[in-house]
Structure 1
């Protein structure tokens, strides 16, 4: 089942909550790719993740960012979506996922000070780049060490779009979970496989 969600906060953030047939045991917030390049909650990789999660009893909140804000507002959108999910499913029942730009924003949001990052059960970033825009100065590799939750990075070895190498290198230095796929940035023909790698990690920590 799916329902429309208006995420509270100062920005117009709307989402779709996918839920299993029975009672959901947890929820994963899913961040879409770059909104200026067509990134939306209907992205195929986000939908594949939602299918994988709901089949195992976990809800998925896919959302659209508010008006473009150079990465600052988008990071706030992630935190607000996580707060909404915690209010509905419980403080210790929320995970975080992001693809491409969404993966980078998810990692930066998870590293933020305060309870937002500490209360996450797990974070998975699919094909994240090393930064989001000039509007947010902190690079993603630097932020990885400040994430309290377990982290998995999934990337395509044939990805020539995202600057993923510094993220993967730092993740390995920190001993974080890293999964390499023989795929391009869009995971053409492999969206379900990429979603399975993400869901496996998130489900194990629900």
Structure 2
């Protein structure tokens, strides 16, 4: 794991797992105001599942900015990864899932080759409307939800993703996926690797 700084003027720091990889996945953490960091166990599970051939850039957001700055952080991390890897994917969990969806929809040609989101909330702020973002994506998308998740309103995201023909996986879990680290890796890792 190599520490890196992400340009963009927001003081974003990241950990790069397997820095020599030709393919990278950028991983967006959960809500920073609730303790979400790049060391989140669900992000680590995905990174572990990508080994040994795919690297993972797990980053911490800069100062809280109600979704705007956090989305910019993800966009900057995507651009950083695109400059260093032949293929780039994107993953996000919870708040990070909404950030990932919006960032993927906004960056155009710098967007990911593949996107997977875990426990995505339908809408958090005016800057993080996950359902609307799905309509702007032209890469393979996987939406993974916990069937017992009553923390976020994930159903509109899963429904719209299914309508658009994207992969929707329902796991027997709550929002935090307690005890499901292995299952997260087994579900997300192969999907991302298969499209990179």
TM-score by length of 1: 0.92
Is 2:83 the partner of 1:101?
Answer: no
In structure 1, list runs of 5 or more residues that go unmatched.
Answer: none
Structure 1 distance, partners of 2:160, 2:131, is 6
Return closer, same or farther for 1:113/1:60 CA change in 2, 3 Å cut-off: closer
Q: Deviations over 1:50-75 (max 9, x none)?
A: 111123x1100000000000000000
Name the structure 1 match of 2:2: 3
- Which residue, out of 143, 157, 160, partners 1:170? 160
In structure 2, list runs of 5 or more residues that go unmatched.
Answer: none
Give SS of 1:81's match.
helix
**Structure 1 runs, 4 residues or longer, greater than 3 Å off:** none
- Which residue, out of 78, 90, 94, partners 1:82? 78
Is 2:108 the partner of 1:114?
Answer: yes
- Aligned Cα RMSD in Å? 1.2
Q: Deviations over 1:84-137 (max 9, x none)?
A: 1111113xx1000000000111001111153233xx110000000001224x2x
Name the structure 2 match of 1:37: 34
Structure 1 contact 108–140 (Cα < 8 Å) conserved: yes
- Which residue, out of 9, 20, 24, partners 2:21? 24
Q: Deviations over 1:18-54 (max 9, x none)?
A: 007xx41300000000000000000000111111112
Name the structure 1 match of 2:56: 60
Structure 1 contact 8–80 (Cα < 8 Å) conserved: yes
Structure 2 distance, partners of 1:103, 1:49, is 13
Count of residue pairs brought into register by the alignment: 196
- Which residue, out of 169, 185, 189, partners 1:195? 185
Structure 1 distance, partners of 2:179, 2:166, is 26
Give SS of 2:80's match.
helix
Give SS of 1:155's match.
strand
Structure 1 contact 160–184 (Cα < 8 Å) conserved: yes
Structure 1 contact 5–14 (Cα < 8 Å) conserved: yes
Give SS of 1:170's match.
helix
TM-score by length of 2: 0.96
Structure 1 distance, partners of 2:110, 2:71, is 11
- Which residue, out of 171, 176, 180, partners 1:186? 176
Name the structure 2 match of 1:132: 124
